[in-house]
Structure 1
Amino acid sequence: MGVCSGRCTLLGICGIQLACILERQIFDFLGYQWAPILVNFFHIIVVIFGIFGTIQCRTRYITAYAVWLVLWVSWNVFIICFYLEAGYLSKERDLIMTFNVSMHRSWWMENGPGCMVTGVTPAPDWAPEDHRYISISDCFLEYQYIEVAHSSLQIFFALAGFIYACYILKCISEEEDSFDFIGGFDSYGYQGPQKTSHLQLQPMYMSK
């Protein structure tokens, strides 16, 4: 019963994770943030493996899913520190998010709630020729806080998934141990059918 309820809960968590990361992947594509796109894609694959492992009770898949969640939490903590500019990190660096292929920008920078975007002309001398120079004002919520909220939500579901994955692995291990104890697949406890000799009955005659 514990495994069944734990599996159902973990499947629900994986489903929510999959929906949230697909939403995040779309906005990362719109912002041309190539590093998060690659990590998100790998996370999607691992979550699908986690769903398959939970349905089929495959301990290797569930273990791989749990291990990846530790790395996933670390990545999202880095994203939070990046947008909050903790330490020497700066959200203006293109190399971290786009591998310096394109200019880094979050989609929420221009499309956040209440943001007013106005073009600035003439553009400054330092601005690239293939990019427009804009001014953003009146945002109800700055884009970095939206990105931090996305990462915080991912951390919450990752921690919940890790706890339930460990719980399912523990339940499966206990069930396998108890099954071996009663002689389930234990080679020493199992005895095959033995051949029995059939005796041919002979009629008996009693003499007076």
Structure 2
Amino acid sequence: MGCCSGRCTLIFICTLQLVLALERQVFDFLGYQWAPILANFFHIIMVILGLFGTIQYRPRYIVVYTVWAALWVAWNVFIICYYLDVGGLSKDSDLLTFNISAHHSWWSEHGPGCVRREMPEAPGVRTTESHSYITVMGCLMDYQYIEVVHSGTQILVALLGFVYACYVVSAITEEEDSFDFIGGFDPFPLYHVNEKPSHLLLKPMYLST
């Protein structure tokens, strides 16, 4: 397969997926979103596995990447439903933090144009037990839509990776089958069958003399 083939395209897609996954991992860490952090970690491992399999012509590794790409699409569909409150899910729940903390998406307070203000619960005397309410105003885009855009981008790239991974696996398999057919793994290639001994080729010359 040449440099402009589906194999090189899959390498580019895997590289792009790594960049997007690392970017998303950073913001999920900032928001203490433990479930997405674990999912991103496995995603990075599987993409590296698929990238290695593509470079080294290992179709089994690419098949594992293909299966994960389908699971990754399903996970991001769940994230979209979560932030859009679809199917009984609620973005205000602590599901993504495993109910360990009440943290939410980092974008909920640091989105484009957002102004973050802290308001103490009890003005006047502050104690170690007093809490602060955080108000966010002036956001150009609500945080749930930013998360939806992130997940939508992940779905699009994963679908492209799935399609090209299937193509690369089929192409590598066809090349291996064709190489085996012409005797690439046969210690006695087929072209030896049609060869004639040299003394038979010289026999007509002796007869003519």
Note whether the superposition's TM-score is higher than 0.5: yes
Q: Secondary structure at the match of 2:135?
A: strand
Q: CA deviation at 1:133?
A: 1.3
**Distance across 2 between alignment mates of 1:168 and 1:75:** 24
Partner of 1:200: none
Distance 1:130 1:25, change over 3 A: farther
1:85 counterpart = 2:111: no
Q: CA deviation at 1:121?
A: 3.1
State the Cα deviation string for residues 143-170 of structure 1 (Å, max 9, x = none): 0000000000000110000111000011
Q: CA deviation at 1:139?
A: 0.6
Unaligned stretches of 5+ residues in structure 2: 123-128, 193-209
Partner of 1:143: 143
Q: Which aligned pairs between 1:147-158 and structure 2 lie closer than 5 A? A: 147-158=147-158
**Distance across 2 between alignment mates of 1:130 and 1:48:** 46
Structure 2 length normalisation: TM-score? Answer: 0.83
1:116 counterpart = 2:115: yes
Partner of 1:106: 105
Q: Secondary structure at the match of 1:144?
A: helix
Q: Secondary structure at the match of 1:120?
A: strand
Unaligned stretches of 5+ residues in structure 1: 124-128, 193-208
**Distance across 2 between alignment mates of 1:154 and 1:100:** 25
Distance 1:44 1:121, change over 3 A: same
Q: CA deviation at 1:190?
A: 6.6
Find runs of 4+ consecutive structure 1 residues off by over 2 angstroms. Answer: 1-4, 120-123, 129-132, 186-192
Q: Secondary structure at the match of 2:116?
A: strand
Q: Which aligned pairs between 1:51-90 and structure 2 lie closer than 5 A? A: 51-90=51-90
Does the CA contact (< 8 Å) of 1:49 and 1:61 recur in 2?
yes
Letter in 2 for 1:115: C
Partner of 2:19: 19
Q: CA deviation at 1:116?
A: 1.4
Aligned length: 187
Q: Secondary structure at the match of 1:136?
A: strand
**Distance across 2 between alignment mates of 1:190 and 1:74:** 49
Does the CA contact (< 8 Å) of 2:115 and 2:137 recur in 1?
yes
Partner of 2:166: 166
Q: CA deviation at 1:120?
A: 2.4
**Distance across 1 between alignment mates of 2:80 and 2:186:** 50
**Distance across 2 between alignment mates of 1:6 and 1:88:** 41
Q: Which aligned pairs between 1:167-186 and structure 2 lie closer than 5 A? A: 167-186=167-186
Partner of 1:9: 9
Q: Secondary structure at the match of 1:133?
A: strand
Q: CA deviation at 1:189?
A: 5.7
State the Cα deviation string for residues 170-202 of structure 1 (Å, max 9, x = none): 11111112112212214786799xxxxxxxxxx
Does the CA contact (< 8 Å) of 1:116 and 1:137 recur in 2?
yes
Does the CA contact (< 8 Å) of 1:21 and 1:44 recur in 2?
yes
**Distance across 2 between alignment mates of 1:130 and 1:5:** 62
1:29 counterpart = 2:34: no
**Distance across 1 between alignment mates of 2:15 and 2:139:** 32
Q: Which aligned pairs between 1:121-132 and structure 2 lie closer than 5 A? A: 121-122=120-121, 132=132
**Distance across 1 between alignment mates of 2:21 and 2:187:** 46
Q: CA RMSD in A?
A: 2.2
